[in-house]
């Protein structure tokens, strides 16, 4: 728990800045629920230093470029699950940081299932053949009976596990605690066993945030232990040694990679991942914040602060989530 916060409890947010593309809808929903709150907003790139110095509360996914410091802001509510856009930017520890309680798991599970079938059903090469009007039969293997290793067993990992289990995929998890968090996992091991386990997986799915512990977790050495798995990353690009991916794919350590997150976003045009025939790129869309989720999460945290209680969704800065 934070110990030296600028705000004192109970705390009522008075001047709120929303830095998001959907700022107008989020601001309207907040005003509808709490007409006494003053709310301003802009896309995060357009937030000005004047906005920041006006506000006591900020809502957004990451620190806006104009905010060299957070002025008089005492509370930041992250609209995303990952808070690396704040902690990675050295957010003053005296500012309260909460994160969205929105469940991104169901949507990310659909993203993952779509990638599993795209790869297994060879959709990309069938589409290539169709465009060339080429009749190109091939063997298609069943997804049922394959094995997945899920790195991250929280809300997102548990939803992916449930969806995969329903398809007949055997699901193993790895987590910090090594304890099973959900019945859809056949078993859960400590993250320390990652390198030993990747060789037994057909699918390796990453849903962990960027933290000092997760950074570089899927290193070249770990990739080298893979036996033709498909890597799915819906967590953060920093979790994988991205520079080693082309080699891992070319040498067959990985059969394919479906990547929604990258060390640099947008993915630079110079990246070899764009054109690699075994890579499916998506532009960080696997789990999207909704207007209702952003608003309700903020209002829930605000109500808690007004009662004088720290919200359940306070980020543990030592853990990084």
Among 80, 105, 297, 320, binds ligand GLV (CB under 6 A): 80
Residue 205 within binding range of ligand GLV, rule CB under 6 A: no
Nearer to ligand GLV, 51 or 260 (CB): 260
Assigned token pair, 278: 């075994």
For residue 286, the number of C-alpha atoms closer than 13 Å in the C-beta half-sphere is 31
SS3 for 30-98 is: HHHHCCCCEEEEECHHHCCHHHHHHCCEEEECCCCCCCCCCCCCCEEEECCCCCHHHHCCCCCCCCEEE
Residue 237 within binding range of ligand GLV, rule CB under 6 A: no
Of the chain, the end-to-end C-alpha distance in Å amounts to: 12
The CB-nearest residue to ligand GLV is: 80
For the CB of residue 270, give the shortest distance to ligand GLV in the complex, in Å: 23
Considering the candidates 31, 284, 306, 317, report the single residue annotated as catalytic: 284
For the CB of residue 153, give the shortest distance to ligand GLV in the complex, in Å: 17
User: Whole-angstrom Cα distance, residue 65 to residue 15?
Assistant: 20
Stretch that binds ligand GLV, among 80-88, 112-120, 131-139, 299-307 (CB under 6 A): 80-88
Considering only residues 262-321, where is the footprint of ligand GLV by CB under 6 A? 287
Stretch that binds ligand GLV, among 75-83, 132-140, 220-228, 309-317 (CB under 6 A): 75-83
Nearer to ligand GLV, 80 or 173 (CB): 80
For the CB of residue 128, give the shortest distance to ligand GLV in the complex, in Å: 30
Residue 152 within binding range of ligand GLV, rule CB under 6 A: no
Active site residue 265: yes
Residue 154 within binding range of ligand GLV, rule CB under 6 A: no
Considering the candidates 187, 265, 307, 319, report the single residue annotated as catalytic: 265
Active site residue 236: yes
Q: Measure CA 103 to chain center.
A: 11
Closest listed residue to residue 160, CA positions, set 223, 196, 115: 115
For residue 225, the number of C-alpha atoms closer than 13 Å in the C-beta half-sphere is 14
Nearer to ligand GLV, 41 or 80 (CB): 80
Closest listed residue to residue 236, CA positions, set 184, 287, 306: 287
Active site residue 215: no
Q: Which residues lie closer than 8 Å to 223 by C-beta, 6 or more apart?
A: 198, 241, 244, 245, 247, 248, 253, 254
For the CB of residue 120, give the shortest distance to ligand GLV in the complex, in Å: 25
Residue 82 within binding range of ligand GLV, rule CB under 6 A: yes
User: Whole-angstrom Cα distance, residue 97 to residue 319?
Assistant: 13
Residue 255 · residue 204 · CB < 8 Å: no
Say how many residues touch ligand GLV, by CB under 6 A: 5
Residue 105 within binding range of ligand GLV, rule CB under 6 A: no
Interface contacts to ligand GLV, rule CB under 6 A: 80-82, 104, 287
Query: Any idea which residues carry the catalytic annotation?
Result: 236, 265, 284
């Amino acid at each position: 728990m934070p110990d030296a916060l600028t705000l004192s409890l109970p705390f009522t947010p008075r001047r709120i800045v929303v830095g998001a593309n959907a700022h107008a809808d989020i601001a309207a929903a907040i005003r509808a629920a709490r007409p006494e709150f003053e709310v301003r907003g802009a896309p995060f790139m357009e937030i000005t230093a004047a906005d920041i110095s006006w506000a006591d509360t900020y809502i957004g996914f990451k620190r806006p470029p104009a905010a060299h410091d957070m002025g008089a802001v005492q509370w930041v509510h992250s609209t995303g699950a990952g808070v690396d856009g704040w902690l990675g930017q050295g957010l003053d520890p005296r500012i309260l940081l909460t994160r969205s309680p929105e469940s991104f798991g169901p949507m990310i599970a659909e993203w993952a299932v779509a990638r599993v079938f795209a790869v297994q059903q060879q959709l990309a090469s069938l589409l290539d053949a169709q465009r060339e009007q080429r009749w190109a039969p091939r063997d298609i293997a069943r997804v049922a009976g394959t094995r997945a290793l899920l790195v991250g067993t929280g809300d997102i990992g548990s939803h992916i596990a449930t969806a995969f289990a329903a398809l007949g995929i055997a699901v193993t998890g790895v987590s910090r605690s090594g304890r099973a968090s959900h019945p859809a996992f056949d078993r859960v091991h400590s993250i320390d066993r990652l390198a030993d386990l990747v060789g037994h997986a057909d699918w390796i799915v990453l849903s962990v945030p960027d933290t000092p512990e997760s950074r570089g977790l899927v290193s070249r050495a770990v990739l080298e232990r893979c036996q033709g798995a498909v890597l799915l990353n819906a967590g953060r690009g920093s979790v994988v040694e991205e520079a080693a991916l082309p080699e891992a794919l070319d040498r067959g350590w990985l059969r394919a990679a479906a990547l929604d997150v990258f060390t640099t976003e947008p993915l630079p045009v110079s990246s070899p991942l764009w054109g690699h025939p075994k890579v499916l790129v998506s532009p960080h869309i696997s789990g999207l914040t909704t207007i209702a989720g952003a608003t309700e999460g903020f209002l829930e945290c605000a109500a808690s602060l007004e009662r004088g209680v720290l919200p359940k969704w306070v980020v543990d800065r030592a853990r990084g989530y």
